[in-house]
């Protein structure tokens, strides 16, 4: 509200200065008064005209625009604006002839203001102000509409991202609980350790992922805990190799940007294949460029085209946040490869501010 009042005050102040300067210049040429006298007369004339005629006219027209602009027919709006403009032009002419001239310029014989010419000049003066105010009003309305659209798109994007995360988290939890169930049936001593690590992962999902972006160090920590759970489950039956080449551990990334590849590798690779199980993970981050790949073994009867819920949602998340990324998958000779390239500086600041 305060900002709006300040903007209106600045507008009328600027308009007053412009009108006073124009009137001052015209009076100085026509009547050759002193500088002080010319300025005082011009100032009072324009100030009173703005306060009593032009300002009420301008706000009355803006009121009609705000009231009738969204109606099916524009006839009411056109009639209202036309009548307002004509009435205030006549009022302005009467005000000039019967008040301004007798009381502001009693010592001068003002010519050229009477008759149809004076009414026409009054009309042109008012229509110029009306055009300026309507143009500024429409510009302000369009800016508000644009900001509202950006806000709605941002809210829609965040809602969709949260929905996608809600699909990933239960999917991950379901797989991990299956692991614990298998260990419990075998009465394994590792069950308690897996449950402890799972609680750590749940803590991460409940608290850390509330942020829009997190340091990659937290994502790597989550990733390592997840791998420890899987190592306990598979023992020596699965060979896992993880190469980490991250130069900046505080680089901000989208939460769960590393998990989907791992989930896919274990669900469609390690869990299905029988011999020579392996998962090779390579993570590189340098100069805001992330290169991430997961290579895993899988059985031929596994559906090579099935990316799984994790990867499908993950790809959708990337499209919502980053402009510059590449996601590639390839299956050949019982080896599935998933590669990801992201320019971490290519996020949409208007839609998803850090």
Identify whether the C-beta of residue 42 lies closer than 8 Å to the C-beta of residue 11: no
Spell out the residues 6+ positions from residue 296 whose beta carbon is closer than 8 angstroms to its own: 265, 266, 269, 270, 278, 279, 280, 335, 336
Query: Phi/psi at 213 (nearest 5 deg)?
Result: -135, 150
Angle of CA points 100, 103, 105, to nearest 5°: 75
Q: Which of 308, 314, 344 is nearest to 327 (CA)?
A: 314
Could you say which residues of the chain have pLDDT below 70? 29-34, 108-115, 151-172, 175, 208-209, 269-275, 300-311, 313, 348-354
Identify whether the C-beta of residue 238 lies closer than 8 Å to the C-beta of residue 330: no
Look up the CATH number of domain 152-343.
3.30.565.10
Burial class (CB in 10 A: 0-12, 13-18, 19+), 65: middle
CA pair distance 342, 118, nearest whole angstrom: 69
pLDDT at 269: 67
Identify whether the C-beta of residue 296 lies closer than 8 Å to the C-beta of residue 279: yes
User: How many CB atoms lie under 10 A from the CB of residue 236?
Assistant: 7
CA pair distance 336, 311, nearest whole angstrom: 13
pLDDT at 353: 53
Spell out the residues 6+ positions from residue 8 whose beta carbon is closer than 8 angstroms to its own: none
Q: Which of 99, 86, 115 is nearest to 49 (CA)?
A: 99
CA pair distance 96, 49, nearest whole angstrom: 8
pLDDT at 163: 54
Domain with CATH 3.30.565.10 in the chain: 152-343
The tens digit of pLDDT for each residue in 100-119 reads: 878 877 776 665 566 677 78
Identify whether the C-beta of residue 62 lies closer than 8 Å to the C-beta of residue 133: yes
Taking the alpha carbons at both ends of the chain, their separation in whole angstroms is 28
Neighbour-count burial for 1-35, b at 16+ CB within 10 Å, e otherwise = eeeeeeeeeeeeeebbeebbeebbeebbeeeebee
Q: Is 288 left (phi over 0), alpha (psi -120 to 50) or beta?
A: left
């Amino acid at each position: 509200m305060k900002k709006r009042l300040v903007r209106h005050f600045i507008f009328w102040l600027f308009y007053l200065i412009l009108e006073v300067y124009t009137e001052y210049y015209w009076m100085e040429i026509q009547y050759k008064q002193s500088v002080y006298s010319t300025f005082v007369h011009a100032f009072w004339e324009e100030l009173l005209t703005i306060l009593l005629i032009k300002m009420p006219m301008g706000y009355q027209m803006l009121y009609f625009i705000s009231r009738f602009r969204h109606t099916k027919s524009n006839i009411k709006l056109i009639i209202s604006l036309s009548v307002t403009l004509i009435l205030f032009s006549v009022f302005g002419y009467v005000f000039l002839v019967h008040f301004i001239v007798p009381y502001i310029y009693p010592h001068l014989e003002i010519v050229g203001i009477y008759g149809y010419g004076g009414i026409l000049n009054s009309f042109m003066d008012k229509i110029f102000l009306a055009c300026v105010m309507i143009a500024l009003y429409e510009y302000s309305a369009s800016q508000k509409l644009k900001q509202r659209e950006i806000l709605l798109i941002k809210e829609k994007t965040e809602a969709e991202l949260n929905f996608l995360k809600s699909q990933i988290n239960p999917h991950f939890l379901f797989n991990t609980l299956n692991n614990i169930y298998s260990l419990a049936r075998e009465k394994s001593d590792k069950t308690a350790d897996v449950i402890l690590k799972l609680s750590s992962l749940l803590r991460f999902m409940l608290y850390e992922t509330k942020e829009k972006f997190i340091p990659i160090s937290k994502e790597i920590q989550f990733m390592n805990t997840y791998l420890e759970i899987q190592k306990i489950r598979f023992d020596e039956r699965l060979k896992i190799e993880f190469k980490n080449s991250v130069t900046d551990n505080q680089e901000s990334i989208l939460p769960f940007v590393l998990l989907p590849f791992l989930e896919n590798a274990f669900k469609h690779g390690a869990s299905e294949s029988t011999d020579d199980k392996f998962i090779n993970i390579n993570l590189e981050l340098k100069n805001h460029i992330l290169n991430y790949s997961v290579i895993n073994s899988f059985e031929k009867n596994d559906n090579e085209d099935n990316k799984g819920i994790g990867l499908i949602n993950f790809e959708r998340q990337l499209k919502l946040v980053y402009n510059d990324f590449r996601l590639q998958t390839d299956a050949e000779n019982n080896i599935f490869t998933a590669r990801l390239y992201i320019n971490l500086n290519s996020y949409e600041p208007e839609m998803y501010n850090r």
